[in-house]
Every structure is written in structure tokens, then in C-alpha cells.
Amino acid sequence: MRFRAGPAPFVTGRTLALDPARMLLRPAFGGSRMIQAENLQSLAGLVLAMGLCWALSEARARFPLRLAIASVAVQVGLVLLLFGLPQARAALEGVNGAVDALSASAQAGTGFVFGFLSGAGVPPYMPVDGQPLFIFAFRVLPVILLICALSALLWHWRVLKWITRAFGFVFQKTLDLRGPPALATAATIFMGQVEGPIFIRAYLDKLSRSELFMLMAVGLSCVSGSTMVAYAAILKASLPNAAAHVLTASIISAPAGVLLARILVPAQAEERIGDAPLEEDERRYDSAIDAVIRGTGDGLTVLLNVAATLIVFVALVALVDRMLSVLPAWDGQPITLERLLGAVFAPVAWSLGVPWGEAGKAGGLLGVKLVLTEFSAFLDLGKIPPGELSERTRMIMTYALCGFANVASVGITVSGFSTLVPSRRREILGLGWRALLAGFLATCMTASVIGALPAALFRAS
């Protein structure tokens, strides 16, 4: 039997052509397989994320090289699966239609309660330049309420539960996780930073310190299903296929969170890979109506927390900006907290693959996400005029911002885990800020992976 070798990789000018994945990627690339210098630039973000966590690791001699390779491979594999296969790509593009339908449905309910404040039927005496009136409280927050109710209903019908178990199985087999932490990691993607671990609440006190920290870090690396739709609604006018990117970002950030958590707090010797006994989860509903009612109640709590956090932190930033206004102008413009954060995080944004000319503005978004919330950062990203950020930079920043890693969320994580496992409260308090670092860098790592892949893969067909 004779074997014929395929074409070898080759370099031409500033581009590197890669052949191995051509059969998988041909439908999405339209025949183009070129990786450019800007894609190689994004690899710096991978080195930065892993290197910084290694430098702060509790055991630098135990770097999980095998897990690092597996985590990046899982991220790349999921992206190629979701965007490279025609069937999966069509399903992802259909997510945008689902987001529009959910937003419109939420608007119908909001309009019934709040009238023209929802943006429907604006009175003639309220000129808004021909555009629908946009009030965050009535256009975005109601979507969270609707998604929470739908999530509870899908959980009761076991749809979401089986999806969670499927992802848990993948994470268990590819990331060397025990059964319960793998399930909680998968549940966190869809249910949120505190709600996900409830899935294995009876097992939480049996987790090792490394596993407990890993769940905290993953919770800050991802977002919940209820907020995914809200982010997509914010970005749909400025980023093509925004809903698909937001959904993918939350899914593939979980392996990054697992890896960086394991680097900072390495797995302990007593952890043995394989199945572990798992008791039935506590999230049960008596009927579909009960699921909708209780899901709505949970959504109301999330809605109020988001609204209150935004009010307080935006007010604090405004207060800081007033204090900074007494300083001399910088480059002809007043000094603001966002401009300072942009200067600090500009090198980080560049390492993700953002051109240096756009790195200052992109770095400011990273700073806003860390100091304020990802909601504020997404709102700012959506307001940036098309000429100031390229479509590729907007896509990279969508992945970099899509996570709960901010100062306010540390308090939510610590208080939530302390409630779930009160016997380990002191341990949880000592891990909070390290979890913030892992969660923030995990989304940066995810953005770097996206930036390293050819942009043609993500273009709408």
C-alpha cells in the first residue's frame, strides 16, 4: 500500500498557509486557508495569560502542560465545530433569529406594563431622531426576566439538564475532571456563577481546595444564559452574528477557566480522575407552571442585582471622573478613569490581536469590564462608531468581555459559595481575588484563541 503525503505548510510574505484542516474549514472559508500576521500576534495573549498565572502559582514546578494542550485543543475544536461545519453554522446563525424573537417577546410584555417607555409607540412630543426610544431598564433587563423563566422551564423538561450533562461528559474526558466538578462546570455555562454549583450542592463540601477554586474561577470566566441574550441584544446592531459569538464565548471560556485555575492552584494528589457518586440535584419543580413562576422570581433577583450594581458602579466612576477633572488635560482631553484604564490595558488588548491604533480604546473596554461590569463594557462597545474599531476587533473584544470577572462579582461569588458551603467560608474568602484574576485572564485567553484563527472562519455566509 502506498501513501501520498499531502501538501506541506508554507510561508509566503506575511502569511502562513495551513493545510491540515482544509476539509473541515472549506465551507466556512470559501477556499481561503490563510493565517496572517495579526493571527500570530494573538498568540501573545495565550502566553501572557498562562505566564502570569504560572508566575503567581502556588506550585510553579507543577505546570499542567497536558491540561494546557487539552484546554486549547478543546477551545479550538469547539470553535471549528460550531463555525466550520455547515449544519452547526446554520444553527448558530439561527440563534440570532431566536434572540430577536426573545427580545421582541420581552418587549411585548414590557410594553403592556410600561407603555411607551418600552420604546413602542413613542408619543410625538418626545423626539428621538426617528429612532425607537432606548431605555436600558425597559429594553435589556426584561430579557433577563424572560430567559430565567424559560431556563427553569427547559430545566423542568430536562432539556437543559441533558445539555449540561453532555458538556459535563466532554469536560470530564478532555480536561481530566472528576464527574461532579465537570457537571458543575458545564452547568455554570448556562446557569451562572453561583447557580451552576447548586447542581452538585451535596458534593461541594467533598471537593478538594483546587476543585473548589476551579469552580469559582469558571464562574467568573463565563456568563449565564439569561445575560447571554441581553449582551447579544446590545451588540446586534454593531457586530454581525453577535448572538452566535456571545454563546460561543461563554462555552469556550470554561476550559480556559479550568486551565488557569489549575495553574494557580494545582490539582492535589488525592484527586483521582473518574466517576464519583453524585446525588440528585436540588433544582426541582412540581410542574411547568411552577417552573415558570419560580424562574421568574429568580430572574427578578438577577434583574435587581444587575440594575443596582450598574447604578452604584457607574455613579462611582462618575465621581472618580469628577475628581480627576481637576488635573491638567492629557493630550488635549480631560483625564477620565476610562482613559487611564485604556492606557494600562492597551498592551493586553494588543496581545489579544487588536491593532495598536485601536488598543487604547479596546484596553479601556477591558478596564471598564474589570472595574465596573461586563454590562457597562458591552454598552460602551455597542456605542463605539463603526470607523473607530474594525469588525475583527469588535469580535475579539466580544469574547474578551464575555465573563463575570469584575470586582462586584467577587462579592457575589464569595457570598454565594459561602452560603452553599458555610463550613469552608474562610477558605473561600482567601480564594476570591485569585479567582477574579483567573476569570479575567480566561476571557483574554479565549479572545486570543479567536484572534489566532482566520477571520474568514467567522464571516457570515
Predicted pLDDT at 15:
39
Cα(423)–Cα(160) distance, integer angstroms: 30
Predicted pLDDT at 35:
66
Under a CB-based contact definition with an 8 Å cutoff, are residues 229 and 269 in contact?
no
Predicted pLDDT at 311:
83
Cα(245)–Cα(441) distance, integer angstroms: 18
pTM: predicted TM-score of the whole model, two decimal places: 0.80
Predicted pLDDT at 28:
42
| Burial (CB count <10 Å: 0-12, 13-18, 19+), residue 75 | buried
Under a CB-based contact definition with an 8 Å cutoff, are residues 264 and 438 in contact?
yes
The set of cell numbers assigned to 11 is: 510561508
Cα(175)–Cα(146) distance, integer angstroms: 33
Q: Give 15's strand partners.
A: 12, 36
What angle is formed at CA 15 by the lines to CA 9 and CA 17, rounded to 5 degrees? 25
* 320 three-class SS: helix
Q: In angstroms, what CA-CA distances link 248 with 80, 182, 229, 339, 400?
A: 11, 18, 12, 29, 12
Predicted pLDDT at 34:
60
Which segments in the chain show pLDDT lower than 70? 1-35, 116-136, 269-283, 460-461
The set of cell numbers assigned to 30 is: 470559501
Under a CB-based contact definition with an 8 Å cutoff, are residues 227 and 377 in contact?
no
How many residues make up the chain in this entry? 461
Cα(248)–Cα(305) distance, integer angstroms: 25
Predicted pLDDT at 133:
57
Predicted pLDDT at 155:
80
Cα(437)–Cα(441) distance, integer angstroms: 6
Per-position DSSP letters for 50-91, written without gaps between them = HHHHHHT-S-GGG--HHHHHHHHHHHHHHHHHHHHSHHHHHH
Predicted pLDDT at 23:
37
Predicted pLDDT at 64:
92
Question: In which order are the strands placed within the sheet that holds 15-17?
Answer: 10-12, 15-17, 34-36
* 259 three-class SS: helix
Predicted pLDDT at 436:
94
* 109 three-class SS: helix
Cα(424)–Cα(286) distance, integer angstroms: 32
Q: Tell me phi and psi for residue 276, to 5 degrees.
A: -135, 150
